[in-house]
Amino acid sequence: MIIPTRTIDDYFCSFIVKGVGQIIIEEQMFYLEPGVFFLIAPGIKHNYILQDDPARYTFRFKLKSGIADRGFGAGHFIEEKAWGLQTTIMSLSQELQLELPYTRHRKKHLLAMLCMHVFRNEQKPIKDPTVFNEFQCRRISDFLAANVNNRPTPTDLAATLELTPDYFSRIFKHTYKVSPREWLVRERIRLASLELTDSTSNISNLVDAEFYGGGLLPSATPEPIVYAVKEALKCKADRHDFRPTPHDQTKWGGTPWNINEIMLVAGAAYCWDPEPDMDDLWKKWSIRRFGHKAAEILLPILKKSYTLMSKGFTIEKLDVLYGWHLAPKAWLGITKTNYNRFDLFRKPGIRLVNKTEDDEIFSNEYAAWQCGSQSVPIADVRNDQWEAMILIERGLNAIELAKTYLKSDDYDYLHEIYDNAEVILKAVMLCCEGAYTTQIMLDNYDNVDNPKDIFEEALKNLTQYADVVLSRKGHSFLRARTGEPALYEALREIAQGYREKGNNREQ
């Protein structure tokens, strides 16, 4: 966590209308989303981070110290879903910029209303949700065990406890530290492995080291390989086959020189030792690969590769890239060879593939069906991508710090893959905003006041970024591949497709 260092001499007020971010007050972190209001007293250390989003909209202002010193003991006040304050704060923000007759009286009146609300609710902090008791946890586990072949959903689990899906999801995550959907996937795999362990089946495990971006993104991601090997060991597999990716687009062509070598190093280690020291594996590999001094700087950021890739380039456990490119037809929802990324931004909670095991499931549907993937709130996607972008920036900074100790080829390679990640993640973020605003044009499920405005803004940003990418034509990650357009062409095609969808609905 970033240690807050900023203080101001006045009261700092903010109301989030659109956009997401974080604020760290003293040693507490709070997530900011539309409807959140906060007030910070003078001298309180804090860091305020709001995602750089063209659609964000906030009211922020400072109040001179002294207006509310008495009784304001906590040093800060935060309220979620404070939409009832929006009119008061909007009016106060406007009055603070005016000097008209009676403005002073209106300011006093509005400040009195705001302070009364704060003092009345100061002793009602945001409470952590309660957790399920032992009986409820047992009911959930027993229900899944009895119905695992029916592929129950989080809604089914909520029904067993007679709770609404939203409330159930919040309490579940606080209890189990993972989402209901992620827990379901893990438990299905665990139950299946137990069944296989008790059987006499002869199992062979194929561990595929293929990764997103064809080697052109930060791919030091041993976690999936390690997971596959550990599960195979539980099932007493008698053979493990490792296949380095044949799709590496770097000039090194998938050789161990690429940083994805750590995937094979870690996977092989688990074949011989059920509990190897992963930190030691990382350390020895990075020193051998880059030398002691460079490894000391680079290791912390390379170990975050999986978080970077999973947060930035997956949604609901599904990759948002096709090989190392965007797939316009998939983003527009008209694909027959890849899963539909456009539907990820429908009203949250709708399964992408609503089929059972008895139905015919096509190859382009299988990943989404197997993971139980569903449409998600745009705020969740933004938070994950924002976290990934921060990791990219830290990676680029670390590479610059290590430049003195790196071979020139190593420096160029590392800088290139993190530079690629920054370019493509920004493109993905803009595609997500385009998909979301187009869905809002089709079905304004978020009750956005000005859907047309945010739709036009999103498409303008997509088109403008295509021009930015075009100026970097020739960059290894941006070139076209057989059957797929170059990145700038894909962005233009996606923007045009969204415009046609939105305009058709408007007509």
Q: What CATH number does residue 57 fall under?
A: 2.60.120.280
State the Cα–Cα distance between residues 225 and 16, nearest whole angstrom. 41
Same domain, 278 and 307: no
Structure tokens at 344: 């990820």
Mean pLDDT of the region 238-253: 58
State the Cα–Cα distance between residues 385 and 381, nearest whole angstrom. 6
Question: How does residue 25 score in pLDDT terms, banded at 50, 70 and 90?
Answer: confident
- Residue 319: inside a domain: yes
Is pLDDT at 294 greater than 90 in this prediction? yes
**Using an 8 Å Cβ cutoff, are 32 and 63 in contact?**
no
Mean pLDDT of the region 50-70: 59
- Residue 140: inside a domain: no
For the stretch 402-432, pLDDT in tens is: 999 999 989 988 998 898 899 889 999 999 9
- Residue 126: inside a domain: no
Structure tokens at 86: 């929006």
Number of Cβ within a 10 Å radius of residue 422: 16
**222 vs 478: which has the higher pLDDT:** 222
Of 101, 121, 141, which residue sits at a domain end?
A: 121
- Residue 3: inside a domain: no
Percent of the chain with pLDDT over 90: 26
Q: Range with the lowest mean pLDDT among 437-446, 467-476, 492-501?
A: 467-476
- Residue 172: inside a domain: no
Please, what sign has the CA dihedral across residues 441, 442, 443, 446? Answer: negative
State the Cα–Cα distance between residues 432 and 71, nearest whole angstrom. 45
Same domain, 247 and 355: no
State the Cα–Cα distance between residues 300 and 461, nearest whole angstrom. 33
Q: In sequence order, which residues have a C-beta less than 8 Å from that of residue 263 and are 6 or more positions away?
A: 209, 211, 219, 220, 221, 222, 224, 225
Same domain, 346 and 428: yes
Same domain, 28 and 115: yes
Q: Dmax over Cα atoms in the chain, in whole Å? A: 88
Is pLDDT at 246 greater than 50 in this prediction? no
Number of Cβ within a 10 Å radius of residue 159: 15
Length of the chain: 507
For the stretch 308-319, pLDDT in tens is: 999 999 999 888
Output phi, psi for 350, to 5 deg.
-95, 125
What are the strands of the beta sheet with 37-40, ordered from one edge? 57-63, 11-18, 37-40, 76-79
Question: How does residue 347 score in pLDDT terms, banded at 50, 70 and 90?
Answer: very high
In three-state secondary structure terms, 2 is coil
State the Cα–Cα distance between residues 345 and 173, nearest whole angstrom. 22
Q: Range with the lowest mean pLDDT among 70-84, 155-169, 469-483?
A: 469-483
pLDDT, residue 126, reads 47
State the Cα–Cα distance between residues 378 and 380, nearest whole angstrom. 5
Q: Which helix (H) or strand (E) holds 194?
A: helix 180-197
Please give the full DSSP string across 69-123, using - where no structure is assigned: -TT--SSEEEESS-GGGHHHHHHHHHHTT---TTHHHHHHHHHHHHHHHHHHHTT
| H-helix segments, 349-377 | 363-371
- Residue 149: inside a domain: no
Structure tokens at 368: 């989404």
CA-nearest of 40, 50, 41 to 19 is 50
Of 240, 256, 290, which residue sits at a domain end?
A: 290
Q: Range with the lowest mean pLDDT among 102-111, 209-218, 295-304?
A: 209-218
Give CA angle at 25 (20, 27), nearest 5°.
115
Rg of the Cα trace of the chain? 26
- Residue 17: inside a domain: yes
CA distances from 11 to 41, 43, 59, 61, 113 (A): 5, 9, 14, 8, 16
Same domain, 417 and 468: yes
Is pLDDT at 4 greater than 70 in this prediction? no
pLDDT, residue 128, reads 46
Q: Give the CB-side neighbour count of residue 263, counting CA atoms within 13 A.
A: 28
pLDDT, residue 56, reads 58
> Which of 79-88, 141-150, 183-192, 362-371: highest mean pLDDT?
141-150
Instruction: Provide the domain count of the chain.
Output: 3
State the Cα–Cα distance between residues 234 and 246, nearest whole angstrom. 28
Same domain, 298 and 437: yes
State the Cα–Cα distance between residues 407 and 291, nearest whole angstrom. 10
Same domain, 319 and 340: yes
Same domain, 333 and 316: yes
For the stretch 259-284, pLDDT in tens is: 778 888 888 888 777 788 899 999 99
* Number of H-type helices and E-type strands within the chain: 17, 11
Same domain, 312 and 277: no
Q: Which residues pair with 39 in a beta bridge?
A: 13, 77
Of 265, 290, 315, which residue sits at a domain end?
A: 290
Cβ burial 313-332 (10 Å sphere, 16+ → b, else e)? bbbbebbbbbbbbbbbbbbb
Same domain, 76 and 212: no
pLDDT, residue 287, reads 94
Is pLDDT at 67 greater than 50 in this prediction? no
**Using an 8 Å Cβ cutoff, are 322 and 338 in contact?**
yes
Same domain, 254 and 355: no
Q: Which domain holds residue 312?
A: 293-507
- Residue 138: inside a domain: no
Same domain, 308 and 282: no
pTM score, whole prediction: 0.59
pLDDT, residue 285, reads 92
Structure tokens at 11: 């009261």
State the Cα–Cα distance between residues 188 and 358, nearest whole angstrom. 18
Give CA angle at 362 (358, 368), nearest 5°.
90
Burial class (CB in 10 A: 0-12, 13-18, 19+), 273: exposed
Is pLDDT at 226 greater than 70 in this prediction? yes
pLDDT, residue 64, reads 66
